[in-house]
Structure 1
Amino acid sequence: MNSSAVRSSVRAFRLVDLESLQASAGSMPPVDEAPVLRVVSDPMASGAVEPVIWPAPIGSGPAPQDEAPAPQVQVRLKVHGPLPRLPQGQVVTLPVTLSARPLEFAGLCLRNLMWLLLTLGLYAPWAQVRTRRYFLRRTLVAGEALDDHANPWLLLPRHLMVWGLVAGVVGAWVGSRLAGMVALSLALAVLPLLAYMNLSYRVAHMSWAGRRLHFDGRYQGVYRAMWAPLASACLVAWLLMATLAWNRPGGWMAWGAVAALWAMAVPAFVWGYFQYRQHHLVLGPVRLMWKAQRVAMAMLFVRALAWFVLASMMVVGVAAVVLAGVMLLRGRVSTQVLFGVWVAVAACVLAAVVPYLQARLQNLVWSKTGNRYLRFRCQLDVQAYVWLRLRHAVLVVLTLGVYWPWAEVAARRMRTEALQVWARVETDVLKANWAPRKRADRTKMAG
């Protein structure tokens, strides 16, 4: 990749308008100084541009200073080899927008709920596909819509398999604790395969501008990425069962130490999964890469832990004041009331921590994803997103769940429109070198 980046960086390209693509490109003077990187906020506008720095990682290296620029070449939309970049190192910003409407989505949710009740849950694959398709078809990237082409009938066996695994584990636990642990261990061994099937199927049936995305990872890769967290989680579960049977202070201390070590390794486990997922996403002629470091993922979880402690202290403090007031009025509090208070405290803490972690993770994952032609930029406002989810959680509780579609659309819009695509290649050039969906399917069948 580095050698191709150097060869491509010393070429001078001129992209002409679509109306004059058949004409030969004019002469281009040699470039004697380093290119100035610029972002055009609106690709169709001709106004002023502001200089920005194209991120150095993910396959973009500077051109050698002692090497003369290569002679100009005539640029065509359909090319072989490296794609032609924009001249003078220009970068175009492509916005991502979502046009979903809460009332439409509420109607879709109502229909899905009705069919789920009538079919006793068997309609779940159709509900999943219809929900995902609704949001993708209303997501525009560079003016082109995404789409989903999944077949719910092909997803039904997978759903039945998951339900069978859950029922088997629960049934084994009802029989005996040892049988339940064995069943849980077997289910964890199958989990990476299910994750691979779900990921590869979803990406392969997703398209942009009528062109399918591709996931070229193998199931061996997802096992390499997930075996350590799953095996260690299984070890923690077995040690917990042994500690419950032994029921000694030393056993509980040993189990707590092992569980703490596993929790400290969670950032590395999450980093390994995203490393596998992002490195195998293919957009037509280009492959994405992910350059986030393990340290960045660890710092993300440290911030999330600090926020968790702060939110817990605030919520527990408010709950303690409420309980003190109730005890002053009634004298004592029943066990059911205490249990309800602790459930409410846990729900409030999760409502504050989960959006925080979600926003931080989205910014880290997508801001470090790209290649030398395309880079993603995510600037999701963490504080605004957390407050949005908290307000909507209160409204969902007050309306007994009726407000959930409005909350979901607002949250998805904020997450979607926080994304941008930085492109060093024209979208028309990218589409011309990316086979449309039907033609790609025929080529695959012929092969």
Structure 2
Amino acid sequence: MHDTFKVSCKGERDSAVSEQQLRENLLRLGFGSRQLDRLLTGTPVIIKSGLSETMAIRYQQRLREAGLLTDVVPEGAAVQAEIAPQAGAAVPPVGAAPRPAPGEQPQRRMAPFAFTGNGSEYFGIWIVNILLMVVTLGFYAPWAKVRNLQYFYGHTLLEQQSFQYLADPWVIFRGRLVAVAAFIVWTIASNFFPIAAMALLVVFIPLVPWIIVRSLKFHAINSAYRNIRFDFTGRYWQAVQVVYLWPLLALLTLGLMVPFAVQRWHQFLTGNARYGRSAFALNLSVGEVYVFFLKMLGMFVATLLLGGVLSVVYQPLMVVFGFAAYLVLFGYMMAGLTNLVINGVKLEQHGFVSNLGKRRLLWIFFTNSLLILLTMGFFTPWAKVRMATYRASCTEMEVAGDLDGFIAGEAQHAGAVGMELGDAFDVGFGFG
């Protein structure tokens, strides 16, 4: 009885598939052009080894669908060479949904996200990071950042597989040195050379969109799922619009263009995101965002009006209802906008669903803040894990068929200078 098997090939193809079509199909599965040249010469090669029998048969079926005829043989059988798909080509998991017949719509199912971290475990990472940053006068910060992100990525699961954060702390460290140097120059100029400081500010303002684009790209290409990296393809002029142009229009119109600016910001973030070679899309219209903001404004005003009426009877109630109105606005924005955006995200034929509860999210945020304050910050690890757990529990992916059809994009490299400049000058942005 054999425990492991391999998939071998002699370059034979299905007679119904032309050689050109076969090449295109195999390229989509993650093979490189040089690998295909060797694969189709007729010389026996191993495509994949170390598989269980079930996995080997499933791999064989996937290649047969592409038009390549293969054999499943036990480990140890003599084959001359091994050719595996390039990094990022995913082997179909045992539990994957069957491929639909031509013209048939793929079966849709809900795949929930899950966060498996716990506060006690993360506390050990968090406290060591703080101590090392104190001892090294902050120079350990890049390693602390990577360790934190690796923990949260590694404990975020989709279909029992975790995400990965792959950034090299040394790359971030070099970027941070540039950022620190820039900050020192800015500080000195501000205190001793005001005119030079103004000139530097004029130079820095057009740099902000570049910093944002570089930071988003750096985080994206260092994030992966099933060994397939993400990417961000946003351009400088797009960033100029969402950072300066649309917010300026919102200001000039006394807030009337705020929903438009918000929709364009999320369109910029989502529409330029990639998973391998597959593009994300945001199906969210400006009108939907306006309706959301009108509802939020209506709830805020109604709460204030109720407080105003009751304050006629008892004056301090106005303060209470003013605070309540702020909480309603805050909770509605945190949960409602997140749900609105995530529910509009598409990845090819797949979708996403978010059902964060406004009151529940507000309660978690409020109690986390209170406990962090009462414990002088030591509750922070539990607070972060608690919020991550709730957010993951309210998020699902609507999978059409399976997740095995994604192809890894070309290898990408992005420097960390943009990301660290963003940290040094406190340029706030994010996907949330």
TM-score relative to the length of structure 1: 0.60
Aligned to 1:213: 230
Does residue 311 of structure 2 align to residue 294 of structure 1?
no
Are the equivalent residues in 1 in contact too, given 2:260–2:289 (CA < 8 A)? yes
CA distance in 1, matches of 2:373, 2:333: 22
Does residue 225 of structure 2 align to residue 199 of structure 1?
no
Query: Match of 1:357, SS?
Result: helix
Q: CA deviation at 1:137?
A: 0.4
CA distance in 1, matches of 2:195, 2:307: 38
CA distance in 2, matches of 1:105, 1:310: 42
CA distance in 2, matches of 1:355, 1:265: 22
Q: CA deviation at 1:216?
A: 2.8
Unaligned runs of 5+ in 2: 1-53, 66-93, 310-314, 413-432
Q: CA deviation at 1:292?
A: 0.9
Q: CA deviation at 1:391?
A: 1.7
Aligned to 1:152: 169
Aligned to 2:424: none
Does residue 90 of structure 2 align to residue 115 of structure 1?
no
Q: Which one has a larger percent helix, Structure 1 or Structure 2?
A: 1
Aligned to 1:4: none
Aligned to 1:388: 364
Change (3 A) 1:312 1:209: farther
Change (3 A) 1:390 1:127: same
Per-residue displacement from partner, 1:184-210 (whole Å, max 9, x unpaired)?
Answer: 443332111111111001110111012
Change (3 A) 1:160 1:189: farther
Residue 272 of structure 1 aligns with an amino acid whose one-letter code is R
Per-residue displacement from partner, 1:94-146 (whole Å, max 9, x unpaired)?
Answer: 11110011011112111111122222223222222111111000111122110
Q: CA deviation at 1:302?
A: 4.1
> Aligned to 1:141, which of 155, 158, 167?
158
Are the equivalent residues in 1 in contact too, given 2:283–2:344 (CA < 8 A)? yes
Does residue 415 of structure 2 align to residue 423 of structure 1?
no
Residue 199 of structure 1 aligns with an amino acid whose one-letter code is L
Are the equivalent residues in 1 in contact too, given 2:231–2:273 (CA < 8 A)? yes
Are the equivalent residues in 1 in contact too, given 2:163–2:226 (CA < 8 A)? yes
CA distance in 2, matches of 1:163, 1:302: 43
Change (3 A) 1:150 1:177: same
Q: CA deviation at 1:377?
A: 1.2
> Aligned to 1:364, which of 332, 340, 351?
340
CA distance in 1, matches of 2:149, 2:307: 34
Change (3 A) 1:314 1:387: farther
CA distance in 1, matches of 2:325, 2:266: 26
Are the equivalent residues in 2 in contact too, given 1:308–1:353 (CA < 8 A)? yes
Q: What pairs up with 1:153-302 in 2 under 5 angstroms?
A: 153-164=170-181, 166=183, 173-174=190-191, 183-229=200-246, 232=248, 259=251, 261=253, 263-302=255-294
Query: Match of 1:295, SS?
Result: helix
Change (3 A) 1:45 1:279: closer
CA distance in 2, matches of 1:95, 1:213: 20
RMSD: 4.5
Change (3 A) 1:45 1:142: closer
Change (3 A) 1:84 1:114: farther
Does residue 123 of structure 2 align to residue 106 of structure 1?
yes
Per-residue displacement from partner, 1:202-261 (whole Å, max 9, x unpaired)?
Answer: 11011101221222333343234334157x39xxxxxxxxxxxxxxxxxxxxxxxx9563
Residue 274 of structure 1 aligns with an amino acid whose one-letter code is H
Query: Match of 2:405, SS?
Result: helix
CA distance in 2, matches of 1:114, 1:310: 48
Are the equivalent residues in 1 in contact too, given 2:106–2:401 (CA < 8 A)? no
Per-residue displacement from partner, 1:138-175 (whole Å, max 9, x unpaired)?
Answer: 11112211000011221234334444555555555545
Residue 122 of structure 1 aligns with an amino acid whose one-letter code is F
Residue 273 of structure 2 aligns with an amino acid whose one-letter code is L
Change (3 A) 1:156 1:84: farther
Query: Match of 1:292, SS?
Result: coil
Q: CA deviation at 1:270?
A: 2.7
CA distance in 2, matches of 1:135, 1:306: 36
Change (3 A) 1:347 1:117: farther
Number of residue pairs matched by the alignment: 329
Are the equivalent residues in 2 in contact too, given 1:86–1:425 (CA < 8 A)? no
Aligned to 1:36: none
Aligned to 1:240: none
Aligned to 2:428: none
Q: What pairs up with 1:9-48 in 2 under 5 angstroms?
A: 21=58, 22=60
Query: Match of 1:430, SS?
Result: coil
CA distance in 2, matches of 1:313, 1:120: 51
CA distance in 2, matches of 1:208, 1:162: 30
Change (3 A) 1:309 1:164: farther
Per-residue displacement from partner, 1:411-444 (whole Å, max 9, x unpaired)?
Answer: 11111221111121322x325x447xxxx649xx
Does residue 113 of structure 2 align to residue 96 of structure 1?
yes
TM-score relative to the length of structure 2: 0.62
Residue 290 of structure 1 aligns with an amino acid whose one-letter code is L
Q: What pairs up with 1:73-88 in 2 under 5 angstroms?
A: 87-88=104-105
Does residue 349 of structure 2 align to residue 373 of structure 1?
yes
Q: Which one has a larger percent strand, Structure 1 or Structure 2?
A: 2
Residue 225 of structure 1 aligns with an amino acid whose one-letter code is V
Percent sequence identity is 20
Unaligned runs of 5+ in 1: 1-16, 26-42, 47-73, 76-82, 234-257, 318-322, 325-341, 443-447
